[in-house]
Structures are given as C-alpha cells and as structure tokens.
Structure 1
Amino acid sequence: MPRVAMLIQKYYPHVGGAEMQIQRLAPRLQARGFEVCVVTRHEKGLSRFEIIDGVPVYRLACPGPKPLAAMFYIWSAIGLLSRLRPDVIHAHEILSPASAALLAKRLYGWPVIVKILRGGIRGDIYKLKRSPLGIQRFRVLSRGVDSFVVISREIDRELSALGVPSEKRAFITNGVDTEIFAPVPDSQKEPLRAKLSLPPEGVLVVYLGRLTAEKRVDHLLRVWPDVRVAFPQSELLIVGTGPEEARLRAQSMSIPGVQFTGPVNDALSYLQAADLFVLPSATEGLSNSLLEALSVGLPVLATSVGGTPDVILHGVNGYLIPPDDLIALKTGLMDLLSDAVLRARLGSKGRQCALADFSLDSVAMRLTALYHSLLGN
C-alpha cells in the first residue's frame, strides 16, 4: 500500500481550514488504498505521537523563535521521513513544510506535492515573496515540486504569473462532507434552536469561523444596528473563537440582537438552526465554513475574495459583495432578510452546488488520481 506523508505546521486539536481538510480527507484516502500519516509541530500539552481517526500523527519539537523553530521543523521532518519512507510527500503551505519536502526529495527522490493554502494579501506566495530571498526561494521551489495543488483560480493565476506551467498546477478544491452537513426540515429548526438556547423566532444570521482581523467580523457588527432597525426580529449569531473575540464582544455590548457562542464542538447544529450565512472576509483561501453552509442549504452572503467567486455565482447560489464595503454588506443583508423566497432558492441551489462539485469523496478521488500519476500507475 503506497504511503503519503502530510506535512503541515499545525494539526488537531488546532482548528483551521487546512487542518480540518486533512483530518476529514485522510480516512477517505486510506479507504482508497493509501496509508496516510501527518508530520506537524509539537505544541505544549500534546503527545509527541498519537493516532487520530486511524491516522498516525507525529509532532516534532521546534523550540526557539520563528526562524530557529522553522529550521528545527525542517531537519526533524527530514529525519523522521527517512525512517517512515513515504512514497509521496504532500506539504501544506510553501514555507517550512515545502522546504522540508524538497530537501527530502533531493535526498531520497520521493515526489512532492505542495498545496497552496491561500492567495492574495496574507497568502502563501505573498508571504514567501516578502521573505528574505523570497523570489529565489520560489524559483527553487517551483523547479523541485512535482505538482502544486491549487484551491482557487486566484492562486492558479498567481502561480501562472510566476512561470509555473499548467501541467504542474492541479486544481483540487477543498471539500465538505455532504452527508453530515445536510439540511434539516423547517419543523426541526425550532427544537434545535431551543436546544442551543437561541431565539425561537425571527431570521437567524450566522457567522462561523475564526475571529481574526481579516475575517472583518467588526464590519458585520458596524452594520448590524441599521439592519436590526429595519428587521427587529433578526438575530446575529457569531460562532467561533480567536484572538479578536474579546474586542468584538466589547464592540457588541451596546448592539441589540447579537450573540457570541465562543468555541463550539458542534458547528453543524448552529448552521442547521440558522437562516442565512454571512462571510465578510477581506481575504480567504477556500473557506470550509462557506462550503459547510452551502451543503446545509443556507443562503450565503460572502465577499468576492480567494476561492469564493469560484464557488458562488451571484444571484444563483448566493450573493457576492466586494470586500471592505460596508454599504454593500448592509444592503446584501437587507436584501436577503427581506425575501424568504430568494433565501430558499439560493439555499437550494447552494446545496446542489455542494453535492455536485465539493463533496469530500470527489476531492479524495482527485487527490488519489494525482498521487497515482506521480507514482507512475
């Protein structure tokens, strides 16, 4: 059985988009005949080795400030890979994981796949270009990598502009478990809201994700008072946690109809209880929360950044607005809150989109095809 080593900076219990994708895809890759392991950095309080959902997870000590920690990760990963003897190395991000993968390839000849996690400002390529000798490092990377996995047209354009040929760019999006993330009948929403201590009536707007600056949840709070005046029964639910949580809670103190959940283990129930999903980010890769909301059958209002325009066709399966445009955000919310028929139509089309193009099984199938092509069979 061929072996795939996944290299990533952090892993479960750290909750991030890339980490969740590996955790959800790994069992499906194993079911398709690949042994999968994860090589990540050790964090205080976690085991150096454990098996999560049938997948071995190795956590490497990376002490010191960032540059030193990166070197520790690279060299420790190479040492571990020399013992694991994978057939394919799949690095997630083009910094330390990709560097470790390329050095291992030079030593042992294993093919290397690098997944670009995000494009644009704050994206992987942007960060690398701003680092010391960044362009030179990218040239070395592009020569050595066998295939880049790109999750958005934005990333694909960035790689093309840097001279990466099309045969080295595999367009494989993130995926969602469409069986778990499924709609519930309207009759189940009221008891579900009661269970979650949510208001039983009114339109429930939900944001689900990390509370970080680039998510622009503060913009959502800035426009919400006007939305609430126009729709006094509407409620805004902010699901998740992050470094901005305390500041956002303070910002919302005088705003009616806003509720924070903090960290949750059951994001699915909050999506199923909601009526509208909103994602006002300034930058994205391809949001897991967006795909989950579509799969649950929620109408979506999202900014046209990252991979979102590849998924959402405005007025067909969701609403797209420009990033950092508070007027567009407020208008979009009001348009969707005022029209239940429109919300239902967008939600139905969104569910169809998730089933057709973004199921985890289809993503696993495309990844295994890429692995086999690199292995020559």
Structure 2
Amino acid sequence: MHICHVNLASGFSGGERQTLTLIKQQLAMGYQLTVVANPKSPFADEIRALEQCQLVLCKHYTRSHQRSITADCDVVHVHEGRAIYWALLQRLIHGVPYIVTRRIDNPLKRKWLSQLAYTRASTLVGLSSEIVRQITLRHPQANVATIPSSPVQYPVSNTDVDAIKAQFANKFLVIQAANMYAHKGFDVTIGAAKELEKHSPQVHICLLGDGKARAELEKQAQGLGNISFMGKQSAMGNWFAAADLLVHPSYSEGLGSVILEAMATGLPAVGTKAGGIPDIINHETNGYLIPSGDQGEITYAQISVNPLIPASTICSK
C-alpha cells in the first residue's frame, strides 16, 4: 500500500510526533510512503532523516498539487489543521481519497471550507470517544472510527536521569508536560502546589513546557519554592524515568497522549474527567481521575500516592 501523509504545521508538537510514530511503524511494515510537509517544520527534518520516504515540501495548502505526488497513492492521510484543505484540493483535482484524523475535542468549525473538507473525506478518525462524539454531532452521516494514539517511545539516558534525580534529591517528583495554554490546567497545578507547600514539603513539581500562558503562570507561582518551570523538553524519556508522578489536569483534552506515554514507562498518572482522558485512565485501577479545575482533588491525589508522606497525614477528601 502507498500512503501519502500530509502535515503542514510549522511547529513540532503532539500531532507531528504522532504522525511520525505512525510513519515509522508503517515503514517497518513495508508500506510505501510519501510525506507532504512544511519546510519550516522540524517534522520535515525528521522525515528527511528516514530516507525511505518521498518528501514533498509545501508551504501552503494551495500549493504542490501535481498529479505525480499522489499518482501511485491509495489514500491520503491528514492530521486535521490546514492539511485537510490540501487533501480536499488533491481529491477535487486528481480524485485521490483521503482520511482525516482529529486530535482535539472542540466542536467542529461551521466554516464552509472546513465542512466541505470533512464531508468529502472517505473516513473520519477520532482519537477518543469524545472527539468522535463531536464529529458525529456535525457530520452524523459520516464514516467515523475511533483509533487511539500509540504512545511515543523516547530514548532514556541513565546519566541524564541521575542528574534530574540529583537536582531534586529526597523529593517526590511530580511533572506536568504540555504546551502552556489555558486549557491545560497549569493553574490548577500551581494552586495545588500552594497547598502542598504548607503540609507536604517532600513534593516538588516540575512544569515541562512553554507557551503564551507561561508569563502569567510564573506570576501565579511567584514565591513558591516547590515548583520549577523547566521549559520545553525534547528528552521526555529521561523525565518519565526520573519522576514519581505525572499530573495532567486539563479543562479539555482530545486524548492526552502524554498520559499514554507516561503509562507506557510505568509512571503513574493523575488526569481530569475531560475529553478523552477517561478513555485512558480507569480511576484507581491504572491512575486517578479528578474533576476539571479541582485543585483540592489534585492535591489529595498527589499526597495519596506519595510514599514519603505518612498515611496519618492524609486528610479525607
């Protein structure tokens, strides 16, 4: 089978990592692949390094619509974003079918071009039950499938893991890893840190990520000694190995791929009852589920899984 993957994002975040994981798996299975990517994105560099893929550089969805790009392709696959319009145009011009994978749980746009792109897709894929629900609300007649992400596997450097552990020696190390947007719930984590500093000094929280909300979050955390802003990380495997707990208190979330990645390494996780997170976490079986925005619940969850804190100090919820 010959598949054309299209990702026109200029950055490199969850969607790009998931697409790259899928591409590597398909190459291992013997698929023939063409990849259309933004030349400004690190994603294009990652594809170039694979060598087995035919790489087509494309700055905008209105460009690079030669018949030759998909002449031998059975299907085009896109991860939402502007790429859906590239796939739509390629189908209208050359008749190549396409599949859309949606990663976010927001309501679908009512813009005519977006609706046309979804209507003309052969199949729509949602990464969680909540995403599928949102898709079917707008496109009830569409062919929709639920296919969760596969966890990205990161390399681990024992030297770097030891360095992280030494930096936070004798601490119960909690991490939150995400782009710093308002819906990711970093404010909830900071609120929990304020409570934890009073009665659980053994807990230290590292916020891994960057984004437009960072400056405001740093103001909220001013004066706290039990929380550190570590910036965006490329070697997440080291943090998963060094940490004792992952928290992911999003207000909305398509799936929560970082939770899958953490669980794959054996790291326990606390997440909210938002979006697709309940598809991953079975409460008190493989993690903790808490209400969105409830800093009291996330504080309790961190204490209750912390072996450094005597059981007698844990307050009832």
Shorter-chain-normalised TM-score: which range? Answer: 0.7 to 0.9
C-alpha displacement of 1:177: 4.5
1:172 matches 2:162: no
C-alpha displacement of 1:25: 1.8
1:87 alignment partner, one of 74, 79, 86: 74
**Identity within the alignment, %:** 24
Is 297-306 or 43-52 further displaced after alignment? Answer: 43-52
Change over 3 Å in CA distance of 1:341–1:251 after alignment to 2: closer
1:308 matches 2:305: no
Indicate if the aligned counterparts of 1:7 and 1:89 stay in contact, CA closer than 8 A. yes
**How many residues are paired up?**
309
Instruction: Return the alpha-carbon distance in structure 1 between the equivalents of residues 42 and 238 of structure 2.
Output: 29
Give the TM-score normalised by structure 2. Answer: 0.85
Give the corresponding residue for 1:28.
Answer: 25
Instruction: Return the alpha-carbon distance in structure 2 between the equivalents of residues 46 and 145 of structure 1.
Output: 24
1:256-299 CA distances to partner (integer Å, 9 max, x unpaired)?
A: 11122223221111111111110011121222211111111111
Instruction: Return the alpha-carbon distance in structure 2 between the equivalents of residues 181 and 340 of structure 1.
Output: 31
1:322 matches 2:309: no
What is the letter of the counterpart of residue 6 of structure 1? H
Instruction: Return the alpha-carbon distance in structure 2 between the equivalents of residues 289 and 35 of structure 1.
Output: 29
Give the corresponding residue for 2:98.
Answer: 112
Alignment of 1:175-254 (within 5 A): 175-177=150-152, 192-194=161-163, 197-254=166-223
Tell me the SS of whatever aligns to 2:255: coil
Change over 3 Å in CA distance of 1:243–1:143 after alignment to 2: closer
Instruction: Return the alpha-carbon distance in structure 2 between the equivalents of residues 8 and 91 of structure 1.
Output: 6
Is 101-110 or 228-237 further displaced after alignment? Answer: 101-110
Indicate if the aligned counterparts of 2:17 and 2:152 stay in contact, CA closer than 8 A. no
Is 297-306 or 102-111 further displaced after alignment? Answer: 102-111
Structure 2 gap segments, 5+ residues each: 312-317
Tell me the SS of whatever aligns to 1:337: coil
What is the letter of the counterpart of residue 10 of structure 1? A
Indicate if the aligned counterparts of 1:119 and 1:155 stay in contact, CA closer than 8 A. yes
C-alpha displacement of 1:341: 11
Change over 3 Å in CA distance of 1:31–1:325 after alignment to 2: same
More helix by share: 1
Instruction: Return the alpha-carbon distance in structure 1 between the equivalents of residues 32 and 128 of structure 2.
Output: 27
Instruction: Return the alpha-carbon distance in structure 2 between the equivalents of residues 176 and 49 of structure 1.
Output: 18
Indicate if the aligned counterparts of 1:181 and 1:292 stay in contact, CA closer than 8 A. no
1:156 alignment partner, one of 129, 132, 136: 132
Give the corresponding residue for 1:69.
Answer: none
Indicate if the aligned counterparts of 1:281 and 1:303 stay in contact, CA closer than 8 A. yes
1:289 alignment partner, one of 245, 255, 258: 258
1:333 matches 2:302: yes
Indicate if the aligned counterparts of 1:193 and 1:199 stay in contact, CA closer than 8 A. no
1:30-72 CA distances to partner (integer Å, 9 max, x unpaired)?
A: 12222223223343999899713234443323xxxxxxxxxxx
Give the TM-score normalised by structure 1. Answer: 0.73
What is the RMSD of the two structures over their aligned residues, measured on CA atoms? 3.1
Change over 3 Å in CA distance of 1:260–1:89 after alignment to 2: same
C-alpha displacement of 1:77: 3.8
C-alpha displacement of 1:144: 1.6
Tell me the SS of whatever aligns to 1:149: strand
What is the letter of the counterpart of residue 204 of structure 1? L
C-alpha displacement of 1:195: 5.0
Instruction: Return the alpha-carbon distance in structure 2 between the equivalents of residues 52 and 241 of structure 1.
Output: 26
Give the corresponding residue for 1:74.
Answer: 61
